[in-house]
Amino acid sequence: EPEVTQTPSHQVTQMGQEVILRCVPISNHLYFYWYRQILGQKVEFLVSFYNNEISEKSEIFDDQFSVERPDGSNFTLKIRSTKLEDSAMYFCASSDGSGYSQYFGPGTRLLVL
Amino acid sequence: AQSVTQLGSHVSVSEGALVLLRCNYSSSVPPYLFWYVQYPNQGLQLLLKYTSAATLVKGINGFEAEFKKSETSFHLTKPSAHMSDAAEYFCAVSDPGGYQKVTFGTGTKLQVIP
Protein backbone atom coordinates (compact mmCIF):
# COMPACT_ATOMS: atom_id res chain seq x y z
CA GLU A 1 0.00 0.00 0.00
CA PRO A 2 1.41 3.44 -0.89
CA GLU A 3 2.55 5.51 2.05
CA VAL A 4 4.00 8.87 2.90
CA THR A 5 7.62 8.76 4.00
CA GLN A 6 9.59 11.31 5.98
CA THR A 7 13.28 11.85 6.64
CA PRO A 8 14.99 12.09 9.00
CA SER A 9 13.02 10.34 11.72
CA HIS A 10 14.84 12.33 14.38
CA GLN A 11 16.83 15.56 14.18
CA VAL A 12 18.65 17.46 16.88
CA THR A 13 19.77 21.00 16.13
CA GLN A 14 21.09 24.06 17.89
CA MET A 15 18.89 27.10 18.33
CA GLY A 16 19.32 29.49 15.42
CA GLN A 17 20.27 26.79 12.93
CA GLU A 18 18.35 26.04 9.77
CA VAL A 19 16.67 22.68 9.36
CA ILE A 20 15.01 21.05 6.38
CA LEU A 21 12.49 18.30 6.91
CA ARG A 22 11.79 16.09 3.96
CA CYS A 23 8.72 14.21 2.85
CA VAL A 24 7.86 11.99 -0.07
CA PRO A 25 4.08 12.10 -0.54
CA ILE A 26 2.05 9.37 -2.18
CA SER A 27 2.85 9.52 -5.87
CA ASN A 28 -0.51 10.43 -7.41
CA HIS A 29 -1.46 12.91 -4.71
CA LEU A 30 -1.76 16.60 -5.48
CA TYR A 31 -2.27 18.24 -2.10
CA PHE A 32 0.43 18.38 0.54
CA TYR A 33 0.43 19.45 4.14
CA TRP A 34 2.60 19.94 7.17
CA TYR A 35 1.32 19.57 10.71
CA ARG A 36 3.15 19.60 13.99
CA GLN A 37 2.57 18.13 17.42
CA ILE A 38 4.34 19.63 20.39
CA LEU A 39 4.89 16.99 23.06
CA GLY A 40 1.70 16.42 25.01
CA GLN A 41 -0.37 18.72 22.82
CA LYS A 42 -2.70 18.24 19.89
CA VAL A 43 -1.75 18.04 16.26
CA GLU A 44 -1.79 21.49 14.66
CA PHE A 45 -2.07 22.47 11.01
CA LEU A 46 0.83 24.47 9.62
CA VAL A 47 0.42 24.77 5.87
CA SER A 48 -1.19 23.28 2.79
CA PHE A 49 0.34 23.30 -0.68
CA TYR A 50 -1.19 22.75 -4.09
CA ASN A 51 -0.11 23.47 -7.62
CA ASN A 52 3.27 24.72 -6.42
CA GLU A 53 1.92 27.32 -4.10
CA ILE A 54 0.67 27.66 -0.56
CA SER A 55 -3.10 27.17 -0.34
CA GLU A 56 -3.51 28.00 3.30
CA LYS A 57 -1.28 28.61 6.29
CA SER A 58 -1.85 28.94 10.00
CA GLU A 59 -0.70 31.67 12.33
CA ILE A 60 2.13 29.39 13.40
CA PHE A 61 3.56 29.40 9.86
CA ASP A 62 5.44 32.68 10.05
CA ASP A 63 8.35 33.98 8.00
CA GLN A 64 10.70 31.49 9.62
CA PHE A 65 8.95 28.68 7.78
CA SER A 66 8.90 27.88 4.10
CA VAL A 67 7.80 24.94 1.98
CA GLU A 68 8.94 23.75 -1.38
CA ARG A 69 8.38 20.98 -3.84
CA PRO A 70 11.82 20.94 -5.43
CA ASP A 71 11.09 18.07 -7.77
CA GLY A 72 8.27 15.72 -8.66
CA SER A 73 8.51 13.63 -5.55
CA ASN A 74 9.79 15.57 -2.55
CA PHE A 75 8.03 18.11 -0.35
CA THR A 76 10.12 20.00 2.18
CA LEU A 77 9.60 22.17 5.22
CA LYS A 78 12.40 24.60 6.06
CA ILE A 79 12.79 26.38 9.35
CA ARG A 80 15.29 29.18 8.84
CA SER A 81 16.35 29.93 12.38
CA THR A 82 15.09 27.39 14.84
CA LYS A 83 13.79 28.32 18.27
CA LEU A 84 13.42 26.17 21.35
CA GLU A 85 9.65 26.21 20.87
CA ASP A 86 10.00 24.63 17.43
CA SER A 87 10.77 21.33 19.16
CA ALA A 88 7.95 19.05 18.08
CA MET A 89 6.96 16.13 15.92
CA TYR A 90 6.39 17.31 12.37
CA PHE A 91 4.00 15.33 10.20
CA CYS A 92 3.72 15.50 6.46
CA ALA A 93 0.44 14.49 4.83
CA SER A 94 -0.86 14.18 1.31
CA SER A 95 -4.23 13.87 -0.35
CA ASP A 96 -5.49 13.30 -3.86
CA GLY A 97 -8.25 15.79 -3.17
CA SER A 98 -11.05 13.44 -4.05
CA GLY A 99 -10.53 10.68 -1.52
CA TYR A 100 -11.63 12.83 1.40
CA SER A 101 -8.66 11.65 3.43
CA GLN A 102 -5.21 12.84 4.21
CA TYR A 103 -2.53 10.22 4.64
CA PHE A 104 0.10 11.01 7.21
CA GLY A 105 3.75 10.11 7.32
CA PRO A 106 5.47 8.71 10.42
CA GLY A 107 6.79 12.11 11.45
CA THR A 108 10.13 13.76 12.14
CA ARG A 109 10.91 14.47 15.75
CA LEU A 110 12.79 17.76 15.94
CA LEU A 111 14.63 18.75 19.08
CA VAL A 112 16.06 22.25 19.31
CA LEU A 113 18.69 22.76 21.99
CA ALA B 1 -14.16 27.67 12.05
CA GLN B 2 -14.42 24.05 12.97
CA SER B 3 -13.38 22.40 16.19
CA VAL B 4 -13.72 19.10 17.94
CA THR B 5 -13.90 18.34 21.64
CA GLN B 6 -12.85 14.99 22.96
CA LEU B 7 -14.26 14.14 26.36
CA GLY B 8 -11.75 12.34 28.52
CA SER B 9 -8.04 12.57 27.93
CA HIS B 10 -7.60 9.05 29.33
CA VAL B 11 -9.99 6.10 29.11
CA SER B 12 -9.38 2.68 30.64
CA VAL B 13 -11.31 -0.42 29.67
CA SER B 14 -10.89 -4.09 30.42
CA GLU B 15 -9.94 -6.46 27.65
CA GLY B 16 -13.15 -7.62 25.99
CA ALA B 17 -15.18 -4.64 27.18
CA LEU B 18 -16.87 -2.03 25.05
CA VAL B 19 -14.73 0.88 23.91
CA LEU B 20 -16.46 4.26 23.71
CA LEU B 21 -14.46 7.38 22.91
CA ARG B 22 -16.45 10.58 22.76
CA CYS B 23 -16.15 13.39 20.25
CA ASN B 24 -18.32 16.43 19.68
CA TYR B 25 -17.80 18.78 16.80
CA SER B 26 -18.55 22.36 15.95
CA SER B 27 -18.77 23.40 12.34
CA SER B 28 -20.51 26.11 10.37
CA VAL B 29 -20.83 23.83 7.35
CA PRO B 30 -21.60 20.12 7.02
CA PRO B 31 -18.33 18.64 8.16
CA TYR B 32 -16.13 15.78 7.22
CA LEU B 33 -15.17 13.89 10.37
CA PHE B 34 -12.32 11.52 11.06
CA TRP B 35 -10.82 9.33 13.70
CA TYR B 36 -7.08 8.77 13.66
CA VAL B 37 -5.03 6.46 15.87
CA GLN B 38 -1.46 7.02 16.99
CA TYR B 39 0.52 4.16 18.45
CA PRO B 40 3.53 5.04 20.60
CA ASN B 41 6.33 6.64 18.59
CA GLN B 42 4.42 6.23 15.36
CA GLY B 43 2.51 8.45 12.95
CA LEU B 44 -1.20 8.99 12.50
CA GLN B 45 -3.26 6.24 10.95
CA LEU B 46 -6.74 6.87 9.62
CA LEU B 47 -9.29 4.64 11.37
CA LEU B 48 -12.41 5.85 9.64
CA LYS B 49 -14.05 8.86 8.04
CA TYR B 50 -17.48 10.38 7.59
CA THR B 51 -18.05 12.33 4.39
CA SER B 52 -21.83 12.86 4.33
CA ALA B 53 -22.79 9.40 3.14
CA ALA B 54 -23.92 6.73 5.62
CA THR B 55 -24.10 8.03 9.18
CA LEU B 56 -22.72 4.79 10.62
CA VAL B 57 -19.16 4.44 9.46
CA LYS B 58 -17.12 1.29 9.79
CA GLY B 59 -13.36 1.46 9.97
CA ILE B 60 -10.37 -0.72 10.42
CA ASN B 61 -9.68 -3.00 13.38
CA GLY B 62 -13.38 -3.38 14.22
CA PHE B 63 -13.99 0.28 15.05
CA GLU B 64 -17.05 2.21 14.00
CA ALA B 65 -18.48 5.66 14.58
CA GLU B 66 -21.90 7.20 14.18
CA PHE B 67 -22.50 10.72 12.96
CA LYS B 68 -25.36 12.31 14.90
CA LYS B 69 -26.15 15.76 13.61
CA SER B 70 -28.74 16.48 16.32
CA GLU B 71 -26.11 15.83 18.99
CA THR B 72 -23.14 17.16 16.98
CA SER B 73 -21.35 13.98 17.94
CA PHE B 74 -19.11 11.43 16.27
CA HIS B 75 -18.31 8.91 18.98
CA LEU B 76 -15.97 6.00 18.30
CA THR B 77 -16.90 2.52 19.47
CA LYS B 78 -15.62 -1.02 19.39
CA PRO B 79 -17.61 -3.90 20.89
CA SER B 80 -14.68 -5.75 22.42
CA ALA B 81 -11.33 -4.18 23.32
CA HIS B 82 -8.06 -5.91 22.53
CA MET B 83 -4.73 -5.25 24.16
CA SER B 84 -3.48 -4.06 20.78
CA ASP B 85 -6.02 -1.21 20.82
CA ALA B 86 -4.00 0.65 23.44
CA ALA B 87 -3.05 3.90 21.71
CA GLU B 88 -4.00 7.54 21.45
CA TYR B 89 -7.08 8.35 19.41
CA PHE B 90 -7.72 11.68 17.74
CA CYS B 91 -11.03 12.95 16.48
CA ALA B 92 -10.69 15.46 13.65
CA VAL B 93 -12.84 17.66 11.43
CA SER B 94 -12.47 19.42 8.13
CA ASP B 95 -14.60 21.44 5.76
CA PRO B 96 -16.06 19.42 2.89
CA GLY B 97 -13.60 18.59 0.16
CA GLY B 98 -10.68 16.24 0.22
CA TYR B 99 -8.11 19.00 0.21
CA GLN B 100 -9.12 21.01 3.27
CA LYS B 101 -6.96 21.26 6.37
CA VAL B 102 -7.80 18.95 9.23
CA THR B 103 -8.41 20.26 12.74
CA PHE B 104 -7.63 17.78 15.49
CA GLY B 105 -8.95 17.27 18.96
CA THR B 106 -6.70 16.95 21.96
CA GLY B 107 -6.71 13.17 21.87
CA THR B 108 -7.81 10.36 24.15
CA LYS B 109 -5.34 7.79 25.41
CA LEU B 110 -6.93 4.38 25.60
CA GLN B 111 -5.58 1.92 28.15
CA VAL B 112 -6.67 -1.71 27.92
CA ILE B 113 -6.43 -3.65 31.14
CA PRO B 114 -5.86 -7.41 30.91
**CB neighbour class for B43 (10 Å; exposed up to 12, middle 13-18, buried from 19):** buried
pLDDT of residue B98: 62
Residue of B32, B60, B91, B102 to mutate when probing chain A, most A C-beta within 10 A: B102
Residue B97 neighbours by CB under 8 Å, 6+ apart = A97, A100, B32
Average pLDDT of the residues of chain B = 92
State how far the Cα of A17 lies from the Cα of B111, in Å rounded to an integer: 39
pLDDT of residue B23: 97
pLDDT of residue B70: 92
Residue of chain A with shortest Cα separation from B99 = A97
The interface residues of chain A toward chain B in range 15-34, judged by CB-CB distance below 8 A, are 30-31, 33
C-alpha distances in Å from residue B38, one per residue of A57, A81, B2:
24, 29, 22
C-alpha distances in Å from residue B55, one per residue of A53, A65, B49, B51:
35, 39, 10, 9
Contacts of A38 in chain B (CB under 8 A): none
Question: How far is A71 from chain B, CA to nearest CA, in Å?
Answer: 21
* Interchain CB distance below 8 Å, B46 and A101: yes
* Interchain CB distance below 8 Å, A31 and B98: yes
pLDDT in tens, A27-37: 989 899 999 99
pLDDT in tens, B55-108: 899 999 999 999 999 999 999 999 999 999 999 999 999 887 667 889 999 999
C-alpha distances in Å from residue B24, one per residue of A94, B89, B93:
25, 14, 10
State how far the Cα of B9 lies from the Cα of A100, in Å rounded to an integer: 27
pLDDT in tens, A48-71: 999 899 999 999 999 999 999 988
Higher confidence at residue A49 or residue B41?
A49
pLDDT of residue A28: 86
Which of B102, B105, B107 is closest, CB to CB, to A102?
A: B102
Task: Check pLDDT > 70 for residue B10.
Answer: yes
Interface A-B: count of C-beta contacts within 8 A: 59
State how far the Cα of B68 lies from the Cα of B14, in Å rounded to an integer: 27
DSSP result, B37-96 = EE-TT--EEEEEEE-SS-SEEE-GGG-EEEEETTTTEEEEEESS--GGG-EEEEEEEE-S
Element (H, E) at A5: strand A5-7
Q: How far is CA A95 from the centre of its chain?
A: 14
CA atoms within 13 A on the CB side of B84: 4
Element (H, E) at A48: strand A43-50
